Amino acid sequence: DQNITSHFIKSIIDGDMKTGKFDGRVGTRFPPEPNGFLHLGHAKSICLNFGMARQFNGTCNLRFDDTNPAKEEQKYVDAIIKDVGWLGFDWGDTVYYASDYFEQLYDFAVDLIKAGNAFVCELTFEQMREYRGTLTEPGKESPYRNRSVAENLDLFERMKAGEFDEGTHALRAKIDMTSPNINLRDPVIYRIKKMPHPRTGDAWCIYPMYDFTHCISDALENITHSLCTLEFQDHRPLYDWILDRLDVPCHPQQIEFARMNLNYTIMSKRKLQTLVNNHLVEDWDDPRLPTLAGIRRRGYTPRAIRNFCATIGVSKKESRIDMGLLENVLREDLNETANRVMGVINPLRVVIENWPEDTVEALDAVNHPQKPEMGQRQVIFSREIYIEQEDFMEDPPKKFFRLGPGREVRLRYAYFITCKEVVKDDAGQISHLICTYDPATRGGDAPDGRKVKGTLHWVSEQGSIPARVRLYDRLFSTEDPEADGEDFINDLNPDSLVCLENARVEKSLAQATAENVVQFERLGYFCLDAKDSTPNLPVFNRTVTLRDNWAK
Ligand code: ATP
Ligand code: MG
Ligand code: MG
């Protein structure tokens, strides 16, 4: 892996190690909410948190931030665990859940009440919003703000006991309704939600809010550096306010960094969920999505994703990253590791008229032109072969160096062939070509020194199997689909998926696995789709083209 790991957060931790803050210990965490699948943005956070722990010999916890039963599901927990492991990180023996702290969180809330730092409020949600004020106007204090501690304790306990309806009571921190930071204007820290939780069942009908849960979970786990995205910068004073008032084992330092944004796609679980729910994509693992499950199915390697995260670095400046950069990092990785094979995705039949009927020949083909250690295989030549429709033109311009009537080309690893005749069906469509081969050119060179400009990939009838091939293009046709808010669906690219039903691939691919990406020569990198392939018809997804197609 590349190891570009100097950034401002590393510098901060370096400094803390020198001054002995946190006793020279580093503890980080990755805290996803299990309300969807992880995406590439999460990969940035995962690489950062696990990466810092690894560099400083510390620990990184995997913690589910599962305090909102309305949106969270076990299937997302399972998917997230799988994805973090796939990316290559190890969280140790324990998976943490914020819901495991419900009891302690409740006790901490009681502590706040006892110290006069929290109160039960009976304003409605709408009233609270009105009272909150705006950026330019201070808020107004709730009429319930000055209840006695005893009254607050009684009401909070009755909230917990289920005596009140949703929306009628909430526990709020008592901070400052005139603060310029709206997060400090008596934020709600507990609300009533009469809904079972996937892990705690019916035990609770009040649930803690994110800002209250997160800092305490960090503290209880002895996290030292709580790394989060920039939108939480304005929440940091609240994070510190709460921990300053509670008897917790550790007061972690929150540090914010810029989210990863990629052009031509979206990275918000909520918006991805919209695509899934409306069947605009197949599911969370649709190979066009930036979800880790989607790009895994597409053929991305965990190493390429880690390298990409290292390449883009960590900073405080928001930016959109070009999809072309991600793909380049991926190509660099696959170029090293992928076996070269031949597949024809839009076949045109070619009959070699001077090749004897019922005779096949095995020819040597290298698996990687620069890496002999990756070995060889044999490809079968026969009288009937297939080339790419695109590689033939009936009336080619001069600069077309592929096949045309009377022209000669090289077939990779095989022979020179010359086109003698174009055979058409009744409708005038080309049905096949009749060619001759030159036996002296076996292996790809003419003893008389005769040159050809084009080398084509091909498969033979006997040496190939049918396959379905899927080509992908950008999922959205605009660079920033979120620019117009919720209208991102209108920006979906209608041509993001092209399915080719009649492809043929060399027989060695009957043994293909989803884990091993291969390069179809001249066409790009492809991987077997484990979900849709059948024993009779493998399905190959194009992972990425050979060259950058994103540049405008
Ligand atoms: P989403 O809006 O996609 O749901 P989120 O931030 O709500 O994102 P969480 O499950 O809370 O999702 O995220 C877990 C961690 O991953 C958080 O620490 C969050 O800051 C980080 N994270 C999420 N999206 C990105 C991103 N695009 N770039 C970097 N980090 C991210
Ligand atoms: Mg979140
Ligand atoms: Mg979210």
ipTM: 0.96
CA of 31 to the centre of ligand 1 (A): 8
Check: CB of residue 394 under 8 Å from CB of residue 404.
yes
In this predicted structure, the answer to whether residue 550 has a pLDDT above a threshold of 70 is no
Averaged over 379-397, what is the pLDDT?
97
The mean pLDDT value of the chain amounts to 96
33 lines ligand 1 (CB under 6 A): yes
Model pLDDT, residue 487: 87
**Residue type at 185?**
R
259 lines ligand 1 (CB under 6 A): yes
Model pLDDT, residue 369: 94
Tell me how crowded residue 146 is: count the other CB atoms within 10 A of its CB. Answer: 11
Distance CA 73, CA 96 (A): 16
pLDDT bucket at 457, cuts 50 / 70 / 90:
very high
Token pair in block for residue 142? 């709730």
pLDDT bucket at 208, cuts 50 / 70 / 90:
very high
34 lines ligand 1 (CB under 6 A): no
| Share above pLDDT 70 across residues of the chain, in percent, rounded to a whole number | 99
Report whether 226 belongs to an annotated binding site. no
* Tokens 């600069």, residue located: 399
Q: Which ligand is nearest to the CA of 42?
A: 1
Ion ligand 2: protein residues whose beta carbon lies under 5 Å: 33
Report whether 460 belongs to an annotated binding site. no
Averaged over 367-383, what is the pLDDT?
97
Tell me the CATH class for 341-462. mainly beta
Span 145-201, pLDDT tens digits: 999 999 999 999 999 999 999 999 999 999 999 999 999 999 999 999 999 999 999
Averaged over 84-112, what is the pLDDT?
97
Averaged over 98-119, what is the pLDDT?
98
**Residue type at 399?**
K
**Closest ligand 1 atom to the C-alpha of 260?**
28
Distance CA 206, CA 110 (A): 13
In this predicted structure, the answer to whether residue 552 has a pLDDT above a threshold of 60 is no
pLDDT bucket at 205, cuts 50 / 70 / 90:
very high
Residues 113, 116, 118: CA angle, nearest 5 degrees: 50
Check: CB of residue 66 under 8 Å from CB of residue 198.
yes
Superfamily of domain 99-208: Glutamyl-tRNA Synthetase; Domain 3 (3.90.800.10)
Averaged over 380-407, what is the pLDDT?
96
Q: Domain residue spans in the chain?
A: 99-208, 341-462
Model pLDDT, residue 46: 98
Question: pTM (2 decimals)?
Answer: 0.95
Cross-strand bridge partners of residue 206 = 192
| Per-residue exposure over 303-328, b if at least 16 CB sit within 10 Å of its own CB, e if not | bbbbbbbbebebeeeeeebbbebbbb
Span 401-445, pLDDT tens digits: 999 999 999 999 999 999 999 999 999 999 999 999 999 999 999
41 lines ligand 1 (CB under 6 A): yes
Token pair in block for residue 314? 């960590």
Averaged over 214-229, what is the pLDDT?
98
Q: Which residues are catalytic?
A: 33, 259, 269
Strand, helix or coil at 362? strand
Span 522-548, pLDDT tens digits: 999 999 999 999 999 999 999 999 988
Residue by residue, DSSP assigns 278-290 as: TTSSSSTT-TTSS
